[in-house]
A = this chain, B = another copy of it.
Amino acid sequence: MKTASYAAEAAKDILHPYTIERRELHDKDVLIEIDYCGVCHTDLHFVNNDWGMTEYPVVPGHEIVGKITEVGSSVSKFKVGDTAAIGCMVNACGKCASCETGNEQYCHAGFTATYNSPIDDPGGFTYGGYSQRIVADESFILKIPVNLELTGTAPLLCAGITTYSPLQHWSVTKGMKVGVVGLGGLGHMGVKFAHAMGAHTVMITTTPEKGNDAKSLGADQVLVSTDTDAMAKEVGEFDFILNTIPVDHKIDPYLDLLKVDGTMCVVGAVEPLSQVNAAQLMFGRKKLAGSLIGGIQQTQDMLNFCGEHNIISDVEVIRMNQIQEAFERLVKSDVKYRFVIDMKSISAA
């Protein structure tokens, strides 16, 4: 895996374009010394150029937590010494209907992603959190509740908001039956959130062995999707299903589980689903939806919610020079449930 190893090299060698070596802090800019950065599957897709859009050199990483070491002259929300976070976005137009309603993730002009997005100042492309430091406008910086442990907080910035946002958008609450399909980085957060929101939370998995883990994460029930009898009993029972499976898969059995007017939201599969039975949507006015991360205010709300409910990700902390092994294990879903890089290790990478 030459490209994965390339990412480690990049993280070690390339000057971060947002660091003060490359750009003086703007009035509203905040400089963060990065403590930890989560490893998202998207990072690997970019490293491997799976989506044909990577601009090398790429420095991945959009689950970033650290300490503020410098602030621009007009920064009002943060001060040096604060613990802070950056997620998947560092800018957006601020003027379109999406930005105006706090949905920067759907900015009509396209948001500036934390890595691999073109930028005017200093030019080139943004570099992400597999790095020592990062600079961004304070409006894209998040506050971290003081009670949250930092390594487990990092993945909240992508895996967390990606699952919290649809659960919150579709008003998941007590009295609802909610399914979470797939138990990985996203799924394990989905279970924690749906449970904390008060829903009867059902882990839906192909792997019976994951049942105990799911229950310890907060699942009230485990439904094994390969057990046709168990699935048949649950037809028409679910108000909402969060589908975190990251690849094409047969979605019909999950649509069957929805109640009339129920919604299944896909947050994992960015590749085309090879078959959707429209009749299953018709017979119950069901919805197949998608959702992408969340807006900045909603991300802050999610972090505050995590503070109130003591929710963090389950993580395995690695050193920078373990990134290649981590990528290899990620492909095999061999992680419970998110790798997080200790960025203090970068100088030794």
Q: When the two chains form the complex, which single residue of B236, B271, B274 contacts A274, counting CB atoms closer than 8 Å?
A: B274
A285 and B289 within 8 A (CB): yes
In the complex, which residues of chain B have a beta carbon less than 8 angstroms from the beta carbon of A290? 278-286
Interface residues of A in 266-325 (CB under 8 A from B): 266-267, 269-292
Cα A108 to Cα B231 in complex, Å, equals 17
In contact, A283 and B236 (Cβ under 8 angstroms): no
- Interface check A20, CB cutoff 8 A: no
A25 at the interface (CB under 8 A from B): no
Across the interface, name the chain B residue whose C-beta is closest to A285: B291
A276 and B279 within 8 A (CB): no
Residue in contact with A106 in the complex, picked from B98, B260, B273, B292, CB distance below 8 Å: B260
If A236-B108, A282-B270 touch, whether A263 touches B276 (CB-CB below 8 Å) is no
How far is B280's CA from A315's CA once the two chains are assembled, in angstroms? 30
How far, in Å, is A273 (CB) from chain B's closest CB? 5
- In the complex the two chains form, what is the Cα distance from A103 to B283 in whole Å? 11
> In the complex, what distance in Å separates the CA atom of A272 from the CA atom of B280?
9
Do A266 and B281 contact each other (CB < 8 Å), given the known contacts A260-B97, A272-B275? yes
Cross-chain contact A288 with B287 (CB below 8 angstroms): yes
A233 cross-chain contacts in B, Cβ below 8 A? none
What 5 A-B pairs are tightest by C-beta distance, nearest first? A281-B290, A282-B290, A276-B276, A106-B260, A270-B279
Besides A103-B285, A271-B279, A286-B290, 18 other A-B contacts (C-beta < 8 A): A106-B260, A106-B284, A169-B285, A266-B281, A266-B282, A267-B282, A270-B282, A272-B277, A272-B278, A273-B275, A276-B276, A279-B290, A280-B290, A281-B288, A282-B291, A283-B292, A286-B289, A287-B288
